[in-house]
Amino acid sequence: MKKFAKQVIFYSALLGIWVLVAKLRIWPPYLFPPPWGVGHALWDGFADHSFWIGIAVTMKRMLIGYSLSVVLGMILGLAVSSNKFLEETLGGLLVSLQSLPSICWIPLAVLWFGLTEKAILFVVLMGSLLSVTIAMEDGRKQMPKIYGMAGRNLGASGFHLFWSVLLPASLPFIVNGMKQGWAFAWRSLIQAEMIFLSLGLGQLLMMGRDLSDMSQVMAVMILIIILGYAVDGLIFRTMERRLQEKYGLTPA
Amino acid sequence: MSTSPQNAYPAAVPTGPRTGVRANVFHGKPASSVTTFPLRPASEMVVPKVALEGISLSYKTTSGDRLLALDNISLEVKPGEFLCIVGPSGCGKSTLLHLIAGLQPQTSGKVLVDGTPVSGPGTDRILIFQELGLFPWLTVGGNVEFGMKMKNVDKAEREEKVQYYLRLVHLLKFRDSYIHQLSGGMRQRVALARALAPEPDVLLMDEPFAALDAQTRDLLHDELERIWAETGRTIIFVTHNVREAVRLGDRVALMTFRPGRVKQEFSVNLPRPRHMEQTDVARTAGDILDCLRDEIDKSLEVEYADEKVR
């Protein structure tokens, strides 16, 4: 409760400064709107359905692109971690590719797929696939070897060993990889949407710029923050916390 | 029981409880109850439960040399016998258990169980790891059930055995707890129940009580001895604690340091139940320790030498 009180004070102060600066009119309102201007833009956006559509379109892409990258990333991560040759060759390439910001894939995506849905999904995929793969690979390596041995010792082999031992043993690492993958996918998608004519939140952001409507820009930014945070904070962190409790990983 | 003329006819008239006879044998050896064998016990008619025939293991070290870890080890363990293996750290005693469990192949030699060579893991031999390796994603009950599930034991029977074995280790109340909620001694008992539940003939134990405090360990010694007597399993128990070995074992095999060889075997003819603090246990342990000392010195020498190089 004390933490909550601190947060209330902090955000009230932030809002207060915002109001103050806006009131001082250092910049014209269309460049620096007051909080109620942004609130108005949010209201209008939802009222004329453009924000609803934007959220729906963006989340749909997110779901497809992200699911694809989780599935492919897990397969790739498993392959790389269980094969010495792949680990020494492909593993290194993946790590080096991860230093490439996902926005760098856009020119390639446009040339290959045109200004289409596929191009956006491709960028999302490239943005999050690598981090999921690397997290999976790391997880397999960090997973204590004792579990596999104990499983084999108790008569598990083949699919049973994978399903009943190796998979649950690496679950904390998998969830971590999924979380990272989500964060990367989210960033990549918004970036890609800003460049394509795409109906998504990214495009709404750019539309605000084209109309010199700072209220809309900030309204969309707030939406992006809230959505991204909600999934990360509510879904992944809860999953992580539950898992850590169950596995006894939480510091006592 | 005093001798009587009837004793001349042993087939017709039983002379008394078998244990009484055994006790007489023990009392007949007042000085030390250790009998040492040159290297192997006199071969008997019974097919050994576990037989190691000339087991060797070598592997490449990081510097590229070949290290001989185990050198021509031969051992026989009778059905229902409690064998303890002692040796200095680094002598390969844990590795030996892994070989018997079939988790790792040996370079040469054979591991025979009931006369049949071992070619991989099997639920007829279950190893309790030093680190236990209990599954944190399963409850206590789930852990105990695991081996039986892998053996496709049907649900009703699994249920019954989980109950039975948890009661055996006094953990029935903790059936639905997760592993991290238990104390060290309780985890040991879960590991024991998990290993016993698939009903292996041979139980392999790798320094299972090394990390426990003395009281808990003593308690678990008593429990293990009781469970061993109740279930009649063959146990191969690895430890670096000679007293523990004497406390528990029918026989103690002493291993040398690098390469691991069986230096000597001692049979322990002390009456059960035994206790760590008993004087005859201490005396027997002392005899074995004298023999072990050279090996410990060797192992320390190597460890200190490693330190100097660095």
Determine, yes or no, domain membership for A212: no
Q: Looking at residue B307, what is its pLDDT?
A: 59
Q: Residue B181 has what DSSP assignment?
A: G
For the domain spanning B32-124+202-310, the CATH number is 3.40.50.300
Q: What pLDDT band is residue A45 in, cutting at 50, 70 and 90?
A: confident
Q: Looking at residue B11, what is its pLDDT?
A: 38
- Greatest CA span in chain B, whole angstroms? 74
Best mutation target among A146, A152, A153, A173 (most B Cβ atoms within 10 Å) is A153
Contact B62, B80 (CB under 8 A): no
- B133, B178, B180 member nearest A149 (Cβ): B133
Question: Which residues have a Cβ under 8 Å from the Cβ of B99 and sit 6 or more positions away?
Answer: B55, B57, B70, B105, B106, B111
Question: Across the strands, what pairs with B255?
Answer: B262
- B123, B131, B181 member nearest A154 (Cβ): B123
The structural domains of chain B, with segments of one domain joined by +, span 32-124+202-310, 136-199
Domain carrying residue A173:
67-196
Q: Looking at residue B124, what is its pLDDT?
A: 84
Distance, CA of A148 to CA of B133 (rounded, Å): 9
Q: Looking at residue B3, what is its pLDDT?
A: 39
Alpha-carbon torsion, ordered B44, B45, B50, B51, to 10 deg: 60
Six token digits for residue A38: 């942004």
ipTM of the complex in this document: 0.71
Question: Across the strands, what pairs with B204?
Answer: B127, B236
CATH at residue A115:
1.10.3720.10
- H-run or E-run covering A188: helix A167-195
Q: Hey, is the C-beta of A160 within 8 angstroms of any chain B C-beta?
A: yes
**pLDDT tens digits, A191-203:** 888 887 778 888 8
Question: How large a percentage of chain B has pLDDT more than 70?
Answer: 83
Q: Looking at residue B263, what is its pLDDT?
A: 76
Q: Tell me whether residues B136 and A248 touch, CB distance under 8 A.
A: yes
Determine, yes or no, domain membership for A62: no
Q: What pLDDT band is residue A6 in, cutting at 50, 70 and 90?
A: very high
- For residue B39, the SS3 value is coil
Distance, CA of A214 to CA of A210 (rounded, Å): 10
Q: Tell me whether residues A147 and B135 touch, CB distance under 8 A.
A: yes
User: What total of structural domains would you count in chain A?
Assistant: 1
Q: Tell me whether residues B179 and A248 touch, CB distance under 8 A.
A: yes
Determine, yes or no, domain membership for A59: no
**pLDDT tens digits, B168-218:** 888 888 888 888 888 888 888 899 889 888 888 889 999 888 877 888 788
| Closest approach of A173 to chain B, Cα-based (Å) | 14
Edge-to-edge order in the sheet of strand B116-117: B66-77, B50-60, B108-113, B116-117
Q: What is the reported pTM?
A: 0.71
